[in-house]
Structure 1
Amino acid sequence: MGVPITQIPFVGSPEPTLGVEWELALVDRDTRDLTNAAPDLFELIAARGVDRAGQIHKELLSNTVELVTGICHTTGEAMADLGATLDVVRGLTDEIGVDLYGAGTHPFAEWSAQQLTEGPRYAELISRTQWWGRQMLIWGVHVHVGISHRDKVLPILSSLLKYYPHLLALSASSPMWGGHETGYASNRAMMFQQLPTAGLPFQFEKWAEFEAFAADQMTTGIIDHLNEIRWDIRPSPHLGTIEVRVCDGVSNRQELAGLVALIHCLIVDLDRRLTAGETLPQMAPWLVQENKWRAARYGIDAIIIEDSDCAERLVTEDLAELLVRLEPVAVSLGCSAELASVADIVARGVSYNRQHEVFARTGSLRDVVSSVVAELD
């Protein structure tokens, strides 16, 4: 059991910097099933002394690789950073005969065939969570945005939950599981919240409340480290950021850029409004929870609850107005084009729509995997 926390220092970021973590699955080129090829990949990385090795990370399962940026200032910089790392990784996966796959779940892989990455942290997670932990064949995108002071973190986090369904609906890419259609646009969102410290965050008002919560978690042995609080949106005190973990896995850099720009603009807008003395709007936890379910179930067809008065609206209608409202913020952050591209995601059809279309046309789940692989750029 870890040492109980009494205080959690927050290393504030003087600028609203960006960091992005992009999880990708490894799939066999012939069968299109998941493959436990990460050890082979990391052997090559070590043997070759690969450039950017520090930005290529292992994950819980050996069918996964995570690409991470350094500290970036704009969406464009983050995408260029990820692109350079992606080029390196693709050169190596070509050598071992696997492809990279960017979605929230795999349509037909069996959880029992997946191997754990070696390490005490992962072994302890599975020892504790058992069957649900072994089920976690899920991939996502995490976006960090720098916050200048700890007292801003929790008001921004709670207000950001109003936009949870927008982010999930836009990124939803996990409609199939174990060879079956789930009826959900994002089955990943429903799966991940089964872990004991995952799911929606508590809406604390003061930093001391978060510290007291973390102390209780440590004292009772629920966590040994702060990063074991796996909320969908969480503070990252050692980095000085809010980390948004809402989004399903993403298949291509264009859509990823749009999502990163939207998250960056949302958080900076809330930060500026708070700094100007505004009390940020919040929604009751039960309304936030319902919105999460609606977005996971219906994707961009979700009718969401807009405010504490329980007004309802199609998520795409609210999104269209949101993009217009955030345009000045995007200009100041140098991401106007990327923010505008969010509308293209809706027009093109979100990943779960595209996967459905391929399956309806071909009747093949392998073709669904191939279509997702082909989108990677």
Structure 2
Amino acid sequence: MDEMDFQASPRMSMGVELELQVLNTRDYNLTRGAPDLLRLLGKTPYKDLIKPEIAQSMIELNSSIHHRYDELLQELQDLRDEVTRQCGKLNLAVAGGGTHAFHQWSEQRIFDMPRFHQLSELYGYLAKQFVVFGQHVHLGCPNGDDAVYLVHMLSRHIPHFIVLSGSSPFSQGEDTAFHTARLNAINAFPLSGHMPFVQSWAEFRTFFERMKQFGVVSSMKDFYWDIRPKPGYGTVELRICDTPLTVGKAAALAAYAQALGQYYLTERPFQPSSDVYELYTYNRFQACRFGAQGNLIDPYTGQHTDIASDILASLQRVMPYAEQLQGQAGLKVLQREIEENASDTRWLRDTMAKEQSINDVVRHQARRWMTPAS
């Protein structure tokens, strides 16, 4: 089977990947605990849902395929609880958040797998600076043409997901003044950014084959785009989000992506246009730097608005589709956060102001992730 044959998936089925920080419980720095933690987790019923990542201080949680927000949330809670139990046996902790607040990239060690070593050899020190932590959301699509359409439509909402997931104001022990600093590490890679403007799966296959013939890529994994089609899974993969501080937020973000996808594939309110990419970098930066207060320019109308208002309008527009999919509770979590001017980034900064210790910020961050009530 050709890797670029698009494998149909049930429309708007969803799955989540979450990259987590593995911490010691002495000073809450990143630690090379992933191999031992994965060894213990390999003896549990969740062994196939928890995987290594590029560094020995990271693990990745993978949900199974879901159609409903509440079922996804329950599985993520179960995964969190199992990881927490196993961490207790090793005197480790795990945490969400898009960056670790004070680790030094030079201290990281690459996980012993061929692909990770290949990336390290190719990208040099960037591979260790790539020790950042994101959430990916997969949305099932019935065919490749729908996937291409959905990538273009969701690109309009990239600032929304940056703002709603933002949890990385600190890096290398400093406040970056960014709502999310994680994406600055990803921007350094030559194949980051967005998918080129193509209008069908056939056009995309032609583009991919050209890049492969040039030797630029060998598979879809080599594209670090904010959103990309995933033909082997039959999904569109949204890759822009920081890992939130709680599994509840992670499930809510997936519910929002699912409702947006259902809205666009049902109503088809716009024809794909390259216009969305003319303002893409500007809107993306505004979200990264200023969060909900950032300026957003609508690529279809040219109107300016603050990102918070645009998110609230979008949530209202797609709420009927969330109700059809039984995910409205997740959207209301996000709506309430925007209305209250709250965010994970603000929580981290407020914790720093209170504790006056970057180590204590990460300690509270880990506790927040690992607490069952979250």
Q: TM-score, normalised by structure 2?
A: 0.94
Taking the aligned partners of 1:261 and 1:172, their CA distance within structure 2 comes to 17
1:371 aligns with 2:367: no
Letter in 2 for 1:208: A
Q: Which residue in the other structure is 2:30 paired with? A: 34
Letter in 1 for 2:284: K
Shift of 1:213: 2.0
Q: Which residue in the other structure is 1:17 paired with? A: 13
1:340 aligns with 2:332: yes
**Residues 202/31 of structure 1: CA separation in 2 closer, same or farther (3 Å cut):** same
Taking the aligned partners of 1:41 and 1:7, their CA distance within structure 2 comes to 32
Shift of 1:43: 2.1
| Local SS of the residue matching 2:18 | strand
Shift of 1:31: 0.7
Taking the aligned partners of 2:368 and 2:167, their CA distance within structure 1 comes to 13
Taking the aligned partners of 2:153 and 2:38, their CA distance within structure 1 comes to 40
Residue from 284, 289, 300 that aligns with 1:292: 284
Q: Which residue in the other structure is 2:254 paired with? A: 260
Residue from 177, 192, 213 that aligns with 1:183: 177
Shift of 1:222: 2.1
Shift of 1:229: 1.5
Q: Tell me which moved more, 139-148 or 125-134.
A: 125-134
1:325 aligns with 2:317: yes
Shift of 1:85: 1.7
1:102 aligns with 2:84: no
| Local SS of the residue matching 1:137 | coil
Q: Gaps spanning 5+ residues in structure 2: where?
A: none
Q: Which residue in the other structure is 1:157 paired with? A: 151
Q: Gaps spanning 5+ residues in structure 1: where?
A: none
Taking the aligned partners of 1:372 and 1:213, their CA distance within structure 2 comes to 42
| Deviation by residue 1:135-190 (Cα, 9 ceiling, x = unmatched) | 11200100001111111111221111111101101111111111111121111112
| Deviation by residue 1:169-220 (Cα, 9 ceiling, x = unmatched) | 1111111111111121111112112112222222221222211221122222
Q: Which residue in the other structure is 2:242 paired with? A: 248
Letter in 1 for 2:317: R
| Local SS of the residue matching 2:157 | helix
Residue from 108, 119, 122 that aligns with 1:125: 119
Residue from 42, 45, 51 that aligns with 1:51: 45
Letter in 2 for 1:321: A
Q: Tell me which moved more, 156-165 or 362-371.
A: 362-371
| Deviation by residue 1:40-82 (Cα, 9 ceiling, x = unmatched) | 1122234xx2211000111111111111111111111111122
Q: What count of residue pairs does the alignment treat as equivalent?
A: 369
Shift of 1:336: 1.2
Shift of 1:230: 1.8
Q: Which residue in the other structure is 1:166 paired with? A: 160
Taking the aligned partners of 1:362 and 1:111, their CA distance within structure 2 comes to 24
Q: Which residue in the other structure is 1:352 paired with? A: 345
Taking the aligned partners of 1:206 and 1:15, their CA distance within structure 2 comes to 18
Letter in 2 for 1:290: Y
**Residues 282/149 of structure 1: CA separation in 2 closer, same or farther (3 Å cut):** same
| Local SS of the residue matching 1:247 | strand
Q: Which residue in the other structure is 1:225 paired with? A: 219
Taking the aligned partners of 1:167 and 1:102, their CA distance within structure 2 comes to 16
| Deviation by residue 1:91-150 (Cα, 9 ceiling, x = unmatched) | 111111111110000111011111111111011111111122221120010000111111
**Residues 278/222 of structure 1: CA separation in 2 closer, same or farther (3 Å cut):** closer
Taking the aligned partners of 1:216 and 1:124, their CA distance within structure 2 comes to 22
Residue from 286, 296, 302 that aligns with 2:294: 302
Q: Which residue in the other structure is 2:307 paired with? A: 315
Percent of aligned pairs with the same residue? 26
Shift of 1:316: 0.8
Shift of 1:279: 2.7
Q: Which residue in the other structure is 2:355 paired with? A: 362
Taking the aligned partners of 2:316 and 2:2, their CA distance within structure 1 comes to 43
Taking the aligned partners of 2:66 and 2:173, their CA distance within structure 1 comes to 39
Taking the aligned partners of 1:294 and 1:143, their CA distance within structure 2 comes to 22
Kept in 1, the 8 Å contact 2:16–2:63? The answer is yes
Q: Aligned-residue CA RMSD in angstroms?
A: 1.8
Taking the aligned partners of 1:166 and 1:375, their CA distance within structure 2 comes to 23
Shift of 1:282: 6.1
Shift of 1:278: 5.6
Taking the aligned partners of 1:228 and 1:353, their CA distance within structure 2 comes to 33
Kept in 2, the 8 Å contact 1:140–1:249? The answer is yes
| Local SS of the residue matching 2:241 | coil
Shift of 1:16: 1.7
Shift of 1:371: 2.2
